[in-house]
Amino acid sequence: MIKVRVPATSANMGPGFDSIGIALNIYNVFGFKETEDGLTFKGVPEEFCNEDNVVYEAMMKCFDRGGYSPRGLEISTLIQDVPVSRGLGSSSTCIVGGLVGANEIMGKRFSQDEILEMAVEMEGHPDNVAPALLGGLVVAIIEEGKVYYETINVHENIKFVPIIPDFRLSTKEAREVLPDKISLKDGVYNVGRAALLVAAMTSGKTELLKFACKDAFHENYRSELIEGFEEVKSEAYRVGAMASYLSGAGPTIMTMISENQVGFSNKIKEFLQTKGLSWTLHELSIDAVGAIVMEGEK
């Protein structure tokens, strides 16, 4: 069996709508095996045990591109630690995992960049799939159908604490509330802050992050779908967050704290309890390697 581990991601970082994302150290692990016949699933919820399964669709895309016809396939979910529809890149783990798994079955016919191109074709934008595949903080764009990206060295003194609501928010629903056009003022607002975000993450000038993570493209619209959003975000800043933003399409609120900061998570948990919110927290670090085929597991 081929085992592929893919990290969670936090995309749309602050002002980096559809273009800036980061990989974090919680993972989904998928297992892949070519069989004699048919399509089988293990450890997968019944509703996803069919040809509409995103992992399967990604594998078939890779096989079709490589001109390969598997006799049969067994797809397993071995570890699923990335919560579904919470803005932490669960669907991207499926896309990247399927593509990498299929590429391994074919004997690594495609380069990492070619896999990224296929992932972006499926996802529609690169800010989740790029860090899921490559690891770290990634800035990526699409120009005439081609993906251009750069990974950014991040200063080490930052931890990420996602505050995860106990309900799902579909990307489709979150997209529908966005305006068709933005003003020049909002465009200028985000361009400057996106540049500042990359500079601050690189330099370690964390005092800039609170301002660099502000957004005028999507957070104001999507936050209305998340009851308690403003209260929780305000409390996060009150108890010491360096920055906070809506992760992906939501509903997770991503916060950044100092590596040496203690007590932040406990204070947020106490606040959530007082508000009757059954939300969860993790203290995470950056995953620097992205998707990997787990050694010794073939």
* Residue 76, annotated as binding a ligand: no
The CATH number of 2-153, from 3.30.460.80, 3.30.160.40, 3.30.230.10, 3.30.365.10, is 3.30.230.10
* Residue 29, annotated as binding a ligand: no
For residue 297, what pLDDT is reported? 47
Length, in residues, of the chain: 298
* Residue 84, annotated as binding a ligand: yes
pLDDT beneath 50: ranges in the chain: 297-298
Architecture of domain 159-281: 2-Layer Sandwich (3.30)
Cα separation, 255 vs 233, whole angstroms: 8
Instruction: List every span in the chain annotated with CATH 3.30.230.10.
Output: 2-153
* Residue 234, annotated as binding a ligand: no
For residue 22, what pLDDT is reported? 97
* Residue 120, annotated as binding a ligand: no
Which bin fits 39, alpha (ψ -120 to 50), beta or left (φ > 0)?
A: beta
Tell me the H-state helices in 67-214.
90-105, 112-123, 129-134, 171-176, 184-203, 209-212
For residue 296, what pLDDT is reported? 52
* Residue 222, annotated as binding a ligand: no
Instruction: List every span in the chain annotated with CATH 3.30.70.890.
Output: 159-281
For residue 41, what pLDDT is reported? 96
For residue 170, what pLDDT is reported? 85
